[in-house]
């Protein structure tokens, strides 16, 4: 069997102008009274893609998912699935299935009847239903629980039944609303990888709604970061993390230090910014903002070094401060370093060796520094 990784590495239909989107959301707006839940939103999702809608609660991600499922109708705009407009098509005639956040398992039916529900509805012959249910139960490793009722299952098992039920009809698209939200951390991490494998194995298009950035980063091919009914950025997880297109995205995904400053020099391939924290930063940047404009600078904690000695790059990309707080997490240590102007920045360092001689302690005078390609310039 071909490794899934090799398929995944080359999977980037969004980069190919010739590829046709499977789901096309075109200028969709959804209003509830005066409240605009989804605001003139456009998106393309490609076949076999694992697509995540990520945002805080109330950002419109669930409303968008419900419009894909057919439970809400767009106030304006259009959703096209596989070349067919979904306008006016009720949920029960859409070739999509949804896995509900609450799982919505039918409490009066056994596990197998829950899974068979949609198949019976389609009038599939009985022996075929039995076969498909069997297959689904094996897929989610619940073959021993076929005769149980939902209330006799654990949370993780219920989640699997919900998944099996939504996959039983072989939908073209599977919509997942916070699929792992109700599971504990360990189970959630395992299930993330299982979902990814399943999606690859079945070759389906998955659209998942989540507020958990780690979940989105782990599973998705691409992430759409949403806020106030709009998509702020659509990109692959590394792009979202390393090249956020805005202060909002930089701040929303992961930990970040943002320095405000003014562009003091801009040359080909590099920008110099005088930060309000009192030091100068030189960054590799393809874009060159005009000299004198305000700019933000985002540097992730793991890209900041903390040292006792003055780094060689000083005074560029370096500042003096004292250690304010230390958080030991096992795999790494988080330092909060207070700069001279009072700004506290976060730096994390990997604990690659077991015993460090003379580790950094509280109140020590240290230098922080980072490389020219460690930060991202944010235009506001």
Partner 1 sequence: MSKFGSAIFNRLVIIIPYVWLTVFFLAPFFIVLRISLSETAIAMPPYLPVFNLADGISGIVEKIGQLSTANYEFLASDALYTNAYLSSLRIAVVSTIVTLMIAYPIAYSMAKAPTSIRPTLLMLVILPFWTSFLIRVYAWIAILKPEGLLNQFLLTLGVIDEPLIILNTNWAIYIGIVYSYLPFMVLPIYSSLEKMDHSLTEAAQDLGCTPICAFWRVTFPLSLPGVIAGCMLVFIPAVGEFVIPDLLGGSETLMIGKTLWNEFNSNRDWPISAAVATILLLILVVPIMFFQHAQAKADGEGK
User: Residues in the site for partner 1, rule: CB under 8 A?
Assistant: 69-71, 90-92, 97-98, 100-102, 104-108, 110, 117-118, 121-122, 147-149, 152, 165-166, 169
From 180, 378, 370, select the one nearest 289 (Cα to Cα).
378
| Smallest gap from residue 117 Cβ to partner 1 (A) | 5
Cα torsion for 100, 101, 107, 110, to the nearest 10°? 60
Q: Which is nearer to partner 1, 98 or 337 (CB)?
A: 98
Q: Which is nearer to partner 1, 48 or 149 (CB)?
A: 149
At closest approach, how far in Å is the CB of 208 from partner 1? Answer: 16
SS3 call for 226 = strand
User: What minimum distance in Å lies between the beta carbon of 285 and partner 1?
Assistant: 47
Tokens of 178: 């916070």
- Pick the closer one to partner 1 by CB: 60 or 70: 70
Rounded CA-CA distance 264/271 in Å is 8
Nearer to partner 1 (CB atom), residue 175 or residue 377? 175
CB of 51 to partner 1, least distance (A): 19
Cis peptide before 254 (omega within 30 of 0): no
> HEC profile for 352-370?
CCCCCCCCCCCCCEEEEEC
Token output for 104: 């919505």
**Residues sharing a CB contact under 8 Å with residue 19, sequence separation 6 or more, in sequence order:** 13, 46
Q: How far is the CB of 97 from partner 1 (least distance, A)?
A: 6
- Find the shortest distance in angstroms from Cβ 91 to partner 1: 5
99 vs 235, beta carbon nearer partner 1 = 99
Please state the φ and ψ torsions of residue 84, each to the nearest 5 degrees.
-115, 130
Choice between 45 and 98, CB closer to partner 1: 98
**Inter-residue contact 245 to 223 (CB < 8 Å):** no
């Amino acid at each position: 069997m071909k490794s899934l990784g090799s398929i995944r590495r080359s999977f980037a239909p969004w980069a190919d102008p010739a590829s046709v989107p499977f789901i096309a959301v075109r200028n969709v707006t959804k209003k509830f009274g005066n409240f605009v839940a989804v605001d003139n939103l456009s998106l393309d999702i490609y076949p076999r893609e694992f697509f995540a809608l990520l945002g805080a609660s109330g950002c419109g991600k669930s409303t968008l998912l419900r419009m894909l499922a057919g439970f809400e109708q767009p106030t304006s705009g259009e959703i096209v699935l596989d070349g067919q407009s979904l306008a006016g098509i009720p949920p029960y005639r859409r070739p999509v299935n949804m896995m509900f956040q609450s799982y919505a398992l039918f409490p009066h039916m056994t596990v197998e009847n829950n899974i068979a529900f949609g198949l019976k509805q389609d009038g599939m012959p009985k022996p075929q239903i039995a076969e498909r249910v069997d297959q689904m139960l094996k897929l989610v490793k619940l073959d021993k629980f076929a005769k149980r009722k939902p209330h006799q299952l654990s949370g993780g098992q219920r989640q699997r039944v919900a998944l099996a039920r939504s996959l039983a009809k072989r939908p073209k698209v599977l919509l997942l609303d916070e699929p792992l939200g109700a599971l504990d951390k360990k189970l959630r991490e395992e299930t993330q990888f299982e979902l990814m494998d399943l999606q690859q194995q079945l070759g389906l298009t998955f659209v998942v709604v989540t507020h958990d950035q780690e979940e989105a980063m782990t599973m998705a091919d691409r992430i759409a970061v949403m806020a106030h009914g709009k998509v702020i950025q659509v990109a692959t997880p590394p792009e979202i993390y390393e090249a956020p297109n805005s202060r909002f995205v930089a701040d929303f995904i992961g930990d970040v230090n943002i320095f405000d400053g003014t562009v003091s020099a801009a040359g080909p391939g590099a920008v110099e910014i005088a930060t309000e924290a009192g030091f100068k930063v030189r960054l590799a940047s393809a874009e060159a903002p005009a000299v004198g404009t305000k700019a933000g600078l985002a540097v992730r904690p793991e890209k900041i070094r903390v040292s006792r000695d003055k780094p060689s790059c000083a005074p560029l990309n370096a500042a003096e401060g004292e250690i304010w707080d230390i958080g030991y997490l096992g795999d790494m240590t988080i330092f909060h370093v207070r700069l001279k102007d009072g700004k506290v920045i976060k730096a994390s360092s990997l604990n690659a060796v077991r015993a460090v001689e003379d580790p950094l302690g509280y109140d020590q005078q240290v230098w922080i520094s980072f490389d020219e390609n460690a930060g991202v310039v944010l235009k506001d």
